[in-house]
Structure 1
Amino acid sequence: MSAKPPFQVQADCENCFGLCCVALPYAKSADFPIDKDSGTPCRNLQYDYRCGIHQALREKGFKGCTVYECFGAGQKVSQVTYAGKDWRNHPDTAKEMFEVFPIMQQLHEMLAYLHEALNRKETEPIFKDLQTVLEQTEALTGLNPESLISLNVPAHRCIVNELLIRTSELVRKNTAPKKAKKLDYIGAKLKGANLRGASLRGALLIAANLRNADMRLADVIGADLRDADLSGADLRGSIFLTQVQVNSARGDRETKLPDGLKKPAHWT
């Protein structure tokens, strides 16, 4: 069984008011060359809400922008919650809009995970539960700004997470699933490792050597893959892997990704 979403879970920047470039703060680091406060437009944001250096973000030091995904929250807030009224021409909505955006981003991220779960054949036993919670989550995204701001997002995330854990168990049950012995794999030497069916939920895999690793059917929800070397790794069928995680890692033409995910331009 499968489900087609009545919503978008990928960014559509053409229909967004550059919300991630304004609402979110960032600090000078390896990912950004300058500091920026929440509510302050990025210096590269143009009047038409497009990025002036979109094709050269990494070269200009804005690597952090290339690994961010709003999961469609930007256009939802811009075109639905605020009915196309942008923050520049309606400055009285700006502060509230910037507060609503990260809440919507969390809800849309949950929608993306739930949609993936619904489209795994292994989840048929919990399909109705997944569908119910997906519909509940989608309904929350349609709330007015005041209601969104007062929403108990952590409580709803707990409900979603219970189903995502069950999804993981169902998908991995025939692969002798392994639970990670630890969460800290920063810089770990895992070249050629057998991680098939492993639970790597929330694992820190920053700069880990995962060359030629077998990561098929591994659960990588929330795993930090920044600068991890996935050259030659096999991630087909991995669970809850996002384009954001892929973009933050390194890989090559031999890296095998799940359907629907693309190899970033910076991969060799």
Structure 2
Amino acid sequence: MTAPDASPAVPDRPDLRADCGDCFGLCCVALPFAKSQDFARNKSAGSPCHNLQDDFRCGIHTKLRDEGYKGCTVFDCFGAGQKISQVTFEGVSWRERPGTARAMYEVFPAMRQLHELLWYLTEVLRLPAAGPVHAEARRALDAIERLTRADADALLGADVPAIRAEVNTLLLKASDLVRAKVPGRKKNHRGADLVGARLRAADLRGATLRGALLVAADLTGADLRAADLIGADLRDARLAGADLTGAVFLTQAQVNAARGDAATKLPPGLTRPAHWVA
């Protein structure tokens, strides 16, 4: 099977990757977390993490997993943090202007969802097989891009769930077009509970695993070429030797949450996490 290649006509979008150096530590303040295997202690929304430094950097960034903050390593704001910090609030932090803190924190979840949609729509444009919906994807991308550059009131007033629903319909079309190129019958595991499932060496080419729970699933040596993995929960999923070439809508955060090795094949643009075995 020939995997879909990225289209060279679509420029790189560094603005859709988190840049903590241009952010006011928003994910470390705006979001809550509970003490668990992912976080070493409780934190309420709007309260700065005790590891957040005065320069908005994380004091334990290089050893988050060792310190019990694995959850931080699998979170991705898709560049929403720096957009709010540098565009919405024009480079003035919540420390410099405390009166903006509440609005900044409230805008963050909405902006994060919008930036996630921008990332997915950009991926659609990179898929040659999704050509029939490229024009629609560009229109949606342009409209959402304009919204992300609006002021805080406009962002808070936006109907983000409705926008997500509209974009999701488009993403489904794109996924169907890509997976249709895979010969044979494709497996449908959309939303399936596959926690701890034994899927070693499984043929999942072109399968839909949208929203599937694959926590701690054994996918060692599995063939996931051109599989739709949007929203799949891959926490601690074993991907040693698995082939994810051309996997549709696979994010870096999902890869970071899984466990792979040097033989795991990833789509272009995604990097092998440092905690994976050599």
TM-score (norm 1): 0.98
| Structure 2 residue 35 is matched with structure 1 residue 28 | yes
Number of aligned residue pairs: 268
Aligned partners of 1:114 and 1:134 also within 8 Å: yes
Q: Aligned letter for 2:136?
A: D
* Alpha-carbon contact 1:5-1:115 (below 8 Å) kept: no
Matched, 1:203 2:223: no
Kindly state the Cα deviation for residue 4 of structure 1 after the two structures are TM-superposed: 2.6
Distance change in 2, residues 1:147/1:265 (3 Å):
same
User: What's the offset of the Cα at 1:31?
Assistant: 0.1
How far 1:6 moved relative to its partner?
A: 6.7
Structure 1 window deviating more from structure 2 (67-76 vs 138-147): it is 138-147
AA aligned to 1:249 is: A
Matching of residue 265 in structure 1 with residue 263 in structure 2: no
Counterpart-to-counterpart distance in 1, 2:29 and 2:276: 28
- Following TM superposition, where does structure 1 have runs of at least 4 consecutive aligned residues deviating by more than 2 angstroms? 1-7
Residue 3 (structure 1) shift: 2.8
- From 207, 211, 228, give the equivalent of 1:219: 228
Partners of 2:112 and 2:156 in 1: CA distance: 12
Structure 2 spans left out of the alignment, 5+ residues: 1-6
SS in 2 for 1:93: helix
Cα shift at 1:174: 2.1
What's 1:120 paired with? 127
Alpha-carbon distance in 2 for matches of 1:180, 1:95: 40
8 Å CA contact retained: 2:191, 2:211:
no
Give CA-to-partner distance per residue, 1:78-108, whole Å, 9 cap, x none. 0000000100010000011000011100000
Confirm or deny that 1:158 pairs with 2:162: no
Residues 67 and 172 of structure 1, relative CA distance in 2, 3 Å threshold? same
Question: How many angstroms does 1:5 deviate by?
Answer: 6.2
Correspondence for 2:180: 173
1:60 aligns with: 67
Question: In the aligned structure 1, how far is the partner of 2:12 from the partner of 2:241?
Answer: 32
1:137–1:181 distance in 2 versus 1, CA, 3 Å: closer
1:95 corresponds, among 98, 102, 119, to 102
**Cα 1:173–1:101 shift into 2, 3 Å:** same
Please name the residue that 1:111 is paired with. Answer: 118
RMSD: 1.2
Taking only the aligned residue pairs, the percentage that are identical comes to: 55
Contact 2:190–2:209 (Cα < 8 Å) also in 1: no
Name 2:243's counterpart in structure 1: 234
- Point out where structure 1 has 5 or more consecutive residues left out of the alignment: none
Which amino acid in the other structure matches residue 202 of structure 2? A
User: Which stretch of structure 1 is more off in the superposition, 1-10 or 201-210?
Assistant: 1-10
What is the DSSP-based 3-state SS (H/G/I as helix, E as strand, rest coil) of the residue aligned with 2:215? Answer: coil
Tell me if structure 2 keeps the 8 A contact 1:212–1:233.
yes
Distance in 2 between the 1:5 and 1:112 partners?
11
